[in-house]
Structure 1
Amino acid sequence: MIRRKILSLFRFEYLRKSLALGAFSVFVGNGCMLGPDYVPPPVTVEDTWIYQNSKRVDILETVNPYWWQSAFADPVLDDLVEQAIENNLELRSAALRALQAQQLLAIAIGNQYPQIQQIEGLVDRSKYVRSGITGNYQSEYYLNFNLTWELDMWGQLRRLVNSAAADFEASMAEYDGLLVSIIAQVAQTYINIRTVKRRIQVAQENIRIQTEGLRIAEVKFHAGEVSALDAEQAQTLLSNTQAAVPALEATLQQFKNTLSILLGMPPHSLNDLLSVPPTVPHVPSIITIGMPQDLLRQRPDIRQAERLLAAQGELIGVARAELYPNFAIGGLIGAIDIRGGQLNGRSDAWDLFVEFDWNVFNYGRLRNNVRLQDATFQQLVSDYQQVVLQAQVDVENAIVAYLKSQEQQYFYNIAAMASEEAVNLSMTQYVDGAIQFNTVITTMVSNFTQQDLLVIAQGAVAANLVQVYLSLGGGWQIQDGLTPLELLPEETIEDMLRRTHYWDKILE
């Protein structure tokens, strides 16, 4: 540290003359900014989707932020999504991380301004006694403060502010990404619940059919028309189908438990919310997906990766600034007032200085740090480009899964109708004695399988539609423009206010 005192121990009234020097120093403090200046790197984005010519997709309109409402028009789902946004604990944690990043930005901004490093004061009252003779009382009052202002000659402080701002924006993008994911998880879990409820209903319908088959086989056996084998085969099939119901009920409860976590509530609280019919949600005939270029602004993970890249880009300039001298101006203002005794009166003093420090002998450490920050930046460039590439793949995979699952559902629907008719025909022919019971068993097994596959296919279509919107990054816009505190529920803010009143200024 090399320190040079420019002015020292002058009377306080001369302090005004230093204002011109201070103003000049502030001007110098806003000097150049060592680069490089951040420029978003180029990324490769396709012009079209592979299946954009399908009659089931619309590329001309952008994604509706409330896509779950337009896609399913289900008030129960709307209510579940609303509760998840309000109560999901992961989402709340992400908002608090964004709040932390916001405060780090405020700290970085504050570091650009003068800092009062120390305030000292003294109040003293003394009585002096000499050779047994009581002396006078003496009162002493002392106050001074030390002020330092680091001059941002090379833009280091401004780069740190820019980096903190980009980190804050990245944390908000992280929140948006989690919001999109939570909405999609709620929708998919809700679809799974309704799908499993429908599968249970299908199983119960087939149990009814198979019970009737067992009754007919027993009647024919008692009439001496067939052997006991038919009744035993019918009982075996019926019991196997009945055994499928408990497994489905267990799966249903597990999906409900998953939904309860997403909604931030205990599992038993969902009973009143899920009194829905056992049907699979229908999907619209045409869905809106927009163009590939929309992903750069829609996908929160892309925005997060780009903002993290921008934050790192500013740190290269910060590292470069450490290669140059660091300047600061400062001063001390004080006053002493003594009453009584030999020293009687008031004395004012001030001290103004300019200092600089320069890490000359750093053995290449600072240059290596520049290389480190630049290599980290280049790594994040690759990460950013990978995120953009992966986003396009995600959308293409989701679109093809959605379209092909609809084709699959079409054929399963034909198979299910045929298997149902086969059961009716085989039962009639068995009663008439035209066929053996083995044929009836075969048609019943096939019917249960086909009906169950149809329900699974219907659920897959709805779930794949949710995956399309998830891959497109839709939904975060509903919270766009809100501050981190506004993203938190009132009870969380009240908890924070009870611990400290320093949130009052932000809440005003």
Structure 2
Amino acid sequence: MESHGGRRVCRWMLAVMLALGGCAKLGPDYQRPAVAVEPAWSLAADPRLAAQADPPKWWWRVFKDPALDRLVAAAYRQNLPLQVAGVRVLEARAQLGVAIGGFYPQSQQALGSLQYNQLSQRAVQSAFSHIFNYTQAQLGLGASWELDFWGRFRRAIEAADNDLLANLATYDNALVSLTADVANDYVLLRTAQSRLDIARRNVDTQRESLRIAEIRFEGGTTSQRDVEQARTVLASTEALIPALEIIERQAANALGVLLGMPPGDMSRWLAGSSGIPVAPPVVAVGIPNDLLRRRPDVRLAEFQAASASAQIGVAKADLYPAFSLTGQFGVLAADVGKVSLSDMFDWRARFGSVGPTLRWNIFNYGQITNRVRAQDARFQAALLQYQNTVLTAQREVEDQLIAFLKSADRARLLAESTEAAGRSLDLAVLQYRQGITDFTTVLTAQQAVLSAQDTLANTLGDIARALVGVYRALGGGWQIREYNDLVPPTVRQAMAERTDWGRLLAPANVLPDAAPGSARLPDW
């Protein structure tokens, strides 16, 4: 009777625990914090900006430069830091699987043993038994399941969910930076090449001026001062060439590393185009609210805040008792007396136990409470970081827009200045040949032409780099990874050969408009 009563109590407790387990979920449910976002860009009225049009996903194509398109595509396939970010996403997928597994019976074991036992003949049991050695065999199953009574494991899954989304946002952010860095280095290289062409053309012109000065000096129509002045200006212009060659070579080396290659000859990658990339007459920039979904670093900050929010619930669960179900079943036999090891498969050799257990850290409340407080502080810091990231994103867009528009205005004025300087040089040379003016006027005009042309070329590069900065600030470029593998086939194959990854190496189909905690997919 007592045995049947104990079973009824045990069954009642099990029913209550299973019914209540999973009802509660401690900690706050994440809500996106309010952020200050302007309805439109401050320069939206400028006719060169299309504020209502979405920025292009593959924004580098607006330059219509095949070499740039080829470089970006190669960098996406080959860049090593991007591959590191992709592997981190795969790691986060596996960690999410670990968190999901924690929701189910945490301990599931098959047990087995075969032991020969030699007991002391001088121990206490020797007074009650004359059996001092025997062999015992055992087979069984054991399991322990801590019920998610307070939502500890569900909050842990939420945190892992958001960690996965945060790692994917980190990958996207690396892709945004990669495409912008490739474009920036390419523009820098083309700008250096354009400036080199200008310097070399001016060297040719100044050499001709030096030849004329030497002829006139030998003919006695001018002084040696004109010759020395011409040599001075020529040497100064020639000195620009090595400095610009340094910039060109370093930009090419930077492109090589971005493409996952050692520095070397980049001519085959640069073939098919030349000159500084030209920005389109109208640039689509969208509206500030788009930043919340377009910029990966904004999404990253939000997912980190959502993960920190879920961790509060994980920490709070330690304040309350943990209820578990434990059970064990098996067979056991020993070669003692009339019993033999073969009897372990007899039904009477069975043993088992099942029932609830309770664990409660009742004397550690100070430590647990402060862990909750610490996690709450991390969550609050993450919320503030998210708000600051949104503000910084808006500032970066505004900075790049003003740089783009004003660089274009400056280039227009510099083009007029360059044309005027060219005309002034032509007049100075003509007047010098006619003896109306001295050679110093010619040299001054030559220097003015070189300065104007070089400044204009540099400013044209500034326009292109500013537009690259606009699209970087708008969060463009990550879309190139949609429905593609996170790591190249060679890396994926190497990982699959080492470890059974199941379907976790599949493309990341989670898009940026996913809500925090929405990355959990059954096949992951």
- TM-score by length of structure 2 reads 0.87
Q: Distance in 2 between matches of 1:340 and 1:366?
A: 51
Alignment partner for residue 68 of structure 2, among 60, 77, 85? 77
Tell me if the contact between 1:423 and 1:443 (Cα under 8 Å) persists in the aligned partners.
yes
Matched letter for residue 270 of structure 1: M
Q: Distance in 2 between matches of 1:43 and 1:506?
A: 35
Q: Which residue of 2 aligns with 1:197?
A: 193
Q: CA deviation at 1:270?
A: 2.1
Q: Give 3-state SS (helix, strand or coil) of 1:356's partner.
A: strand
Q: Give 3-state SS (helix, strand or coil) of 2:24's partner.
A: coil
Alignment partner of 1:236 is 2:232: yes
Tell me if the contact between 1:28 and 1:151 (Cα under 8 Å) persists in the aligned partners.
no
Tell me if the contact between 1:7 and 1:351 (Cα under 8 Å) persists in the aligned partners.
no
Q: Distance in 2 between matches of 1:328 and 1:481?
A: 42
Identity of aligned pairs, percent?
38
**Does 370-379 or 286-295 show the bigger shift?**
370-379
Q: CA deviation at 1:501?
A: 3.1
User: Within 5 A, what are the aligned runs for 1:109-508?
Assistant: 109-123=100-114, 141-275=137-271, 278-336=274-332, 342-344=338-340, 345=343, 346=346, 347-482=349-484, 486-498=485-497, 500-504=498-502, 506-507=504-505
- Residue 52 to residue 480, structure 1, CA distance change in 2 (3 Å): same
Q: Distance in 1 between matches of 2:374 and 2:114?
A: 53
Q: Distance in 2 between matches of 1:167 and 1:466?
A: 30
Q: Which residue of 1 aligns with 2:31?
A: 39
Q: CA deviation at 1:389?
A: 0.5
Q: Distance in 1 between matches of 2:182 and 2:11?
A: 62
Tell me if the contact between 2:90 and 2:504 (Cα under 8 Å) persists in the aligned partners.
no
Q: CA deviation at 1:336?
A: 2.7
Tell me if the contact between 1:7 and 1:353 (Cα under 8 Å) persists in the aligned partners.
no
Q: Distance in 2 between matches of 1:257 and 1:471?
A: 25
Write out per-residue CA displacement over residues 367-413 of structure 1, whole angstroms, 9 at most, x where no aligned residue.
12222111221111111111011111111111010000000000110
Q: CA deviation at 1:38?
A: 1.2
Q: Give 3-state SS (helix, strand or coil) of 1:273's partner.
A: helix
Q: Distance in 2 between matches of 1:274 and 1:284?
A: 21
The RMSD of aligned alpha carbons is 2.6
Q: CA deviation at 1:277?
A: 5.2
Tell me if the contact between 1:61 and 1:290 (Cα under 8 Å) persists in the aligned partners.
yes
Q: Distance in 1 between matches of 2:218 and 2:422?
A: 28
Q: Give 3-state SS (helix, strand or coil) of 1:502's partner.
A: coil
Q: Give 3-state SS (helix, strand or coil) of 2:198's partner.
A: helix
**Does 272-281 or 347-356 show the bigger shift?**
272-281
Q: Which segments of 5 or more consecutive residues in structure 1 lack a partner in the other structure? A: 1-5, 127-137
Alignment partner of 1:57 is 2:57: no
Write out per-residue CA displacement over residues 158-190 of structure 1, whole angstroms, 9 at most, x where no aligned residue.
001001111110111111111001001101111
Q: Distance in 1 between matches of 2:404 and 2:232?
A: 38
Q: Distance in 2 between matches of 1:52 and 1:122?
A: 77
Between Structure 1 and Structure 2, which shows a larger proportion of strand residues?
1
